[in-house]
Every structure is written in structure tokens, then in C-alpha cells.
Amino acid sequence: MWNFPLLPEQASTVAPHVDLLYFFQVGVSLFFSVLIFATILYFTYHYREGSNIDRSRPIAQSLLLETTWMGIPFVFGMIMFFWGAALFYVDYEAPPGALDVSVVAKQWMWYIQHSQGRAEINELHVPLGQPVKLTMTSQDVIHSFYIPAFRVKQDVLPGRYTSLWFEPTKVGRYHLFCAEYCGTNHSAMGGWVEVMEPADYERWLAEGGTGPSMAQEGEKLFVQHHCAGCHRGSQTVHAPRLEGVFGKSVPIQEGKDVHFVTADVTYIRDSILRPKSQVVAGFEPLMPSFEGQISEPDLLRIIAYIKSIAGEETPQ
């Protein structure tokens, strides 16, 4: 694939597509800018004062001309819209089976943890040729996770999860930036993404020691915060079991009505921090809020645990 030297490398599957759309838009803008300026110059010269031009029959209306100057930009506008929308949809949802990585932003660093358990700061190691999905949140203000070589950027917000995915296509080291002004050291809030051969990545993960995985850490926290007392085992309090829940549709009681929501990362997070906002149909709103009691990295670990038991049968 050709590469314009002013741009960063194209190192992900979407990068060439993003660039193509970009150059198309630049091309269209350039073409019309040149056309309009040339026309202005031509008319300025041609109809200048004192030039010998026939001005006896000024044109009042031209349907053909008007249709043309509305029709052509309309077509170009629609091409950009549908092309951009198609790309956006590809970019929006990670393909199934993508590698899960958690990102917590804070002033002024990136804390990153792999589902296998290894954590790193301001660095992200990923294997070549495999989709990687980041689940991101912030501990303070709004940040933005930006990897120019992958042509991906996503805001990272406090109080909610956003996600970002990419599939690296080249081994190498690529800049990582914070792209949202977040205070004094915003410009220093960056790092590197290291794309490795899959075998090297496995070796790198193993170098981190044989510590617990995120799901195992999450299970420990699940017990520590006394979630297990109600959500598992011989419970005295009637609470929904969480095996097999992740990714499924959950019935939510709202007044007299029941509606369904998908038990994704956002739903689990809200259920822990604001349990009364979404009470599962058939259960009492008894759960206390854990707002302010569990750190962002720990929340992600608990969610990783609940996700890890998604394949299990829901006990009755």
C-alpha cells in the first residue's frame, strides 16, 4: 500500500481505509477550492470595468445551472456520508473473540491490564494480526486514547466505559497519545504500543510471572466485598445468580413494566455502583451501593470475573 510521507505509518487493518476516505475528502475539497478560485479570478478579469463585453442580456435564471451546482455537491456529500458511516460501523464494534485489555486513565498516566493478569503503565503490548479490544475508563477527567499509526482515537470518560478496537498489521513500536486536554501534564501523557509476533507476546505475558489473571483477582474481590454472600452459594438473601449472565438479556423491573437490557460491562458497572437503578425483575432492591468503595481497576477485575463465568449454567 502506498503511503503519504507526511502521515504516520499504516499499522492496523482500518488505517488504509481511513486514509483513503481522508484523501478522497481532501481531493474533493482541493478540486472545488481550485475550481471556485479559478472562476473568481476569471470573472474578475473578464468582467473588469472597461472590458469590452456584451452586457445587454443579463441571465436572470438557469434551471440547469442551479440543478447542477446543487446536485453535484449533494452526490459528493452523500458519498462521504455513507462511506464514513460504513467505516464508523466497522470501527464501532470489535469482532467477536478480540483480546480483552483494560485501560484506566488518570492524571497523567495510562494503567493497562491484560486479562491474563499482567499490568503495565504507559505501554501496551499486543500481538500481531489479532483484534484487540480495549475497555476504558478514567479515574478523574476526560482523556482520549489515540494511536495515530492505527488511525483510532476514543475519548476516555470518568464514570463510564468506552471501548476501542484495532488489529495491528505490522510489528513495531507506535506512539500512544492522550488527545484530550486534561491538565498540566497532558502533553506528557503518552507512551508506546508495542506490536509483537504472537509467540513473543505470549513470552512477554509469561515474563510477568504466574500471578492471578484479572478474573481470578476479580473473584477474590467478589468475595472480599461480600458480593458472594448474596450472589452465590447458600444465600440467605435472595439475589440473582451471576453465572451465565454476562452478554445475556436481563429483565429489569421498572414500576409495573419489565424491559430487557444486555448485561454488558456498562450494565455490570451500573449494577455495582447504582444497584437500585436497574433491579432485576422478581428481586427486591436490597443491594447497597459500592460507589466510592471499589477502585476503577478493581471494578474492571470484578467485571472480568463475571465475564469469565458467562459460559456457566445459571443455577436455580
What are 106's strand-pairing partners? 109
Longest CA pairwise span in the chain (Å): 100
Site for ligand CUA in 100-119 (CB under 6 A): 105, 108
Pair type for strands 119-121 and 172-178: unpaired
Helix and strand numbers (H, E) in the chain are: 7, 13
- Outline where the chain has alpha helix (H): 15-46, 63-92, 198-207, 214-224, 228-231, 265-273, 296-308
* CA nearest neighbour of 24 among 82, 67, 69: 82
Residues numbered 266-305 forming contacts with ligand CUA, rule: CB under 6 A:
none
For ligand CUA, which residue of 100, 167, 180, 296 counts as binding (CB under 6 A)?
180
Build a one-symbol-per-residue string for 127-146: x at contacts with ligand CUA by CB under 6 A, - elsewhere: ----------------x---
How near is the Cβ of 217 to ligand CUA at its closest, in Å? 25
- Write out the binding residues for ligand CUA, residues 185-204 only, by CB under 6 A: 186, 189
Q: Which is nearer to ligand CUA, 180 or 298 (CB)?
A: 180
Q: How far is the CB of 1 from ligand CUA (least distance, A)?
A: 31
Q: Locate 230 and state its grid cell.
A: 448474596
Among 124, 147, 178, 300, binds ligand CUA (CB under 6 A): 178
Residues that bind ligand CUA (rule: CB under 6 A) add up to a total of: 9
Minimum distance, C-beta of residue 188 to ligand CUA, in the bound complex (Å): 9
Q: Which helix (H) or strand (E) holds 106?
A: strand 99-106
Pairing of strands 109-114, 99-106: antiparallel
Closest separation between CB of residue 180 and ligand CUA, Å? 5
Residue with cell 470518560: 157
C-beta of 149 vs 182, nearer to ligand CUA: 182
Residues forming contacts to ligand CUA in the complex (CB under 6 A) are: 105, 108, 143, 178, 180-182, 186, 189
